Structure 1
């Protein structure tokens, strides 16, 4: 819908521009005083001057479009970089936690070799604590929303 609206506006602008250029040509619409822009002397009719204005406006619009496209690209790259930085910090924090957990486990094993089969949180992996909970399932291991007799027996 926006594309159709944009095409209609563009077509209207082209029609108005052509009408302005063609209706302001001839001897009746001659510029009374010539002027210079960047060393180029402009002479002719008001229609020619209007045509130059259209060209300058189109070039300005292209420049603005390039500027906005570059800003959008820079913004997108910045957003991606911030997301990657957040992800990297999260991974680094996880790695530090794993390192600390492994160091703690190694210290526990070095202090008491009989607890080598225990998990890093001090729970024996071979046996579940009372209530059916361990460090992996703090609310108990349930596969369905309602407790069954098998879950209660654990």
Structure 2
């Protein structure tokens, strides 16, 4: 096949525009919410009673943008299976049975510790009350990932694991 100079220029222009165009554009006022697997432990179907402890392993989400030094995480116990509509206007779970607290992943070694602690390595099941005995409950997390300047967009990544509450 023999290319003409005009055809070569068109091909070069198309190739350059595909490299320069981002695959996703976002404004700071338009956060993106993802549901992605982050829990390694406990596993789906874990059976627990009030006061019982289990290992807690949550991975910090990583995306192809500015790698933040710290990633905030909120940890909740919910009565029903969450979805994006479970999040309130500040992108936290609005209705929950128990709030374990806010935590902070340190993503880079050598950064100083912050006043917010890292996620715990064990989780103790709270007393949810007799009405939840024998019921499914959901351990849910939501991470806040801040983007790079100058655009500074924010992404929220949440996950959940189904558990059974016993007496």
TM-score band (shorter)?
A: under 0.3
Give the TM-score taking structure 1 as reference length: 0.24
Q: TM-score, normalised by structure 2?
A: 0.23
Q: Whose helix fraction is larger, Structure 1's or Structure 2's?
A: 1
Which structure has the highest strand share of the two? 2
Which has the higher relative contact order, 1 or 2, with Cα contacts under 8 A spaced 6 or more apart?
2
